[in-house]
Amino acid sequence: MPWITCKDLQKEYRSGTQSQMALNHVDFSLEQGEYVAIVGKSGSGKSTLMNMLGLIDTPTGGSIIWNGEQVLRYPERKKTQLRNQMIGYVFQAFYLEPSYTVYQNIEIPLLIAGYGTAERRSRILSALEEVGLSGKVRQRADSLSGGEKQRISIARCILKDAPIVILDEATASVDTDNESYIQEAINELVKGKTLLVIAHRLNTIRQADQILVISDGRISEQGTHDELMAKAGIYQDFVNIRKKASGWSLA
Ligand code: ADP
């Protein structure tokens, strides 16, 4: 039996008399430790699927089964507990308290979790070192670049050490300088984890155990990079466009 299974997952959005299926009969499963990349055009349903998997939002139909249990039937409190214990999120839009320092922003969840001062300090400093932000401990959050903010959300996730990591790979506001730091920090974060990524970069995508190509709320293609490249389909087009854009040889 797979670790997590989605069966017939649907999400319908209604506005007035109009309704739209952002997810339309999605089925798939994943194993513990697997790396799943979700790719597709903007508006195809990637974030919606991730929000369902991450128990942030509830589908309008279908089921999500973890270890044989129907988690959508859990009471809200138990769902929150599962989310807190099992899932670390790194999202693009991540809230930082603007007037707090980098250190204080990372300290908040540890304070809530009841860690003592000395342990908090050593854990925070080591997480900041892992994401290359040791030099910015006392800097205010509102003075950080987009990439630095993202590194803080990675540091928080490293501290949380949850078995599943959900990552929305940033496309905007990350300069090249930040990008290598972010990549290193992510590599540190995901060691030994089950990883679900909304992926945009070819290098990230090609290493996935399973790639889900989403179009119009459906899984239109599914497989590894090599399997999908062997088909003349959406994924192959997507890769070729990216290779052209980055000046890679197509040979
Ligand atoms: P992606 O992440 O691939 O860009 P989304 O999952 O954000 O796509 O969106 C899928 C579709 O659902 C889009 O057409 C979007 O406009 C719609 N959608 C997403 N969230 C909402 C919402 N809260 N209310 C109404 N429509 C939504």
pLDDT at 251: 44
CA of 129 relative to ligand 1 center, distance in Å: 36
Strands in 194-198's sheet, in edge-to-edge order, are 87-90, 164-168, 194-198, 35-39, 210-215, 218-223
Answer yes or no: is the C-beta of 92 below 6 A from any ligand 1 atom: no
Q: What is the pLDDT of residues 178-220, one digit of tens each?
A: 777 778 888 888 999 999 999 988 888 999 999 999 999 999 9
Report the alpha-carbon distance of residue 65 to residue 29 in Å, rounded. 9
pLDDT at 155: 92
Report the alpha-carbon distance of residue 106 to residue 109 in Å, rounded. 7
Q: CA geometry: angle at 172 spanning 168 and 173, to 5°?
A: 115
Question: Which residues 6+ apart lie within 8 Å of 84 measured at CB?
Answer: none
CA of 211 relative to ligand 1 center, distance in Å: 20
The atom of ligand 1 lying closest to the CA of 44 is 3
The tally of CA atoms less than 13 A away on the side-chain side of residue 103 is: 13
From first to last of its 251 residues, the chain has per-residue pLDDT tens of 789 999 999 999 998 899 999 999 999 999 999 999 999 999 999 999 999 999 999 999 999 999 999 999 999 999 999 998 999 998 766 788 999 999 999 998 888 888 999 999 999 999 999 999 999 999 999 999 888 888 898 899 999 999 999 998 865 445 666 777 778 888 888 999 999 999 988 888 999 999 999 999 999 999 999 999 999 999 999 999 888 877 665 44
The dihedral sign for the CA sequence 147, 196, 82, 64: positive
Nearest residue by C-alpha to atom 24 in ligand 1? 13
pLDDT at 188: 83
Answer yes or no: is the C-beta of 223 below 6 A from any ligand 1 atom: no
CA of 6 relative to ligand 1 center, distance in Å: 19
Answer yes or no: is the C-beta of 43 below 6 A from any ligand 1 atom: yes
